[in-house]
Amino acid sequence: MAQSNLSLPRLAGPVLLRRLRRADLAAFHAYRGDPAVCRYQAWSPMSGAEASEFIAEMEATPLFQPGKWAQIAIARAKDGALVGDMGLFVAEGCKSAEIGFTLSPAARSRGYASAAAAASIQLLFEHTAVPRVFGITDARNAASVRVLERVGMSRAESREVVFKGEPCVEWVYSMARSATGET
């Protein structure tokens, strides 16, 4: 399957998945700098300059490139305003893929994360040969657990880890290509 950026923008119910762009900087920097948003994320807050550089890099990063994360925008469908971002990762050899999502606190409980996650899984199955997509979350992150389960992922593994210097349990969710009807 061909690598493609033609798959974006993608309308998915209340959200539009699209490339991050320079005009997103203020919103991106605001929610990515919120300590409550960062709690369960592997990244840390960025300076304004780092956020600007990151957005510029993600504008140019090819989607579905094995071994490299690509971050795309989760925007409100009605006005295109940035409400979060979605990470897409394809493992080397297209053996699997992973999704990750971040949402602005003001955008939560509106179905945005579920719509974006479902559309991202569909994109990965449409444009790569991966047989399975994963989502990994801290077991205490009830909102992420609900999203992963709502989109049809099943808990495949539980593992004890140290995350940001604190012991925790991560839950690994997965969905097989066959579960989506894709062949």
Domain of residue 172, CATH code = 3.40.630.30
Query: Are the CB atoms for 170 and 158 separated by under 8 Å?
Result: yes
Q: Is 182 contained in some domain? A: no
Q: What is the CA radius of gyration of the chain?
A: 15
What H or E segment, with its residue span, contains residue 174? Answer: strand 166-176
Q: Is 36 contained in some domain? A: yes
Query: Does residue 110 register a pLDDT over 90?
Result: yes
Q: Is 3 contained in some domain? A: no
Q: Is 82 contained in some domain? A: yes
Residue bearing the bigger pLDDT, 180 or 36: 36
Number of H helices, E strands in the chain: 5, 8
Domain that holds residue 114: 10-177
Of the chain, the percentage scoring pLDDT greater than 70 comes to 94
Indicate the number of domains in the chain. 1
Q: In terms of Cα–Cα distance, which of 67, 44, 42 is closest to 162?
A: 42
The pTM of this model reads 0.91
Query: Are the CB atoms for 85 and 110 separated by under 8 Å?
Result: no
pLDDT in tens, 62-107: 999 999 999 999 999 999 999 999 999 999 999 999 999 999 999 9
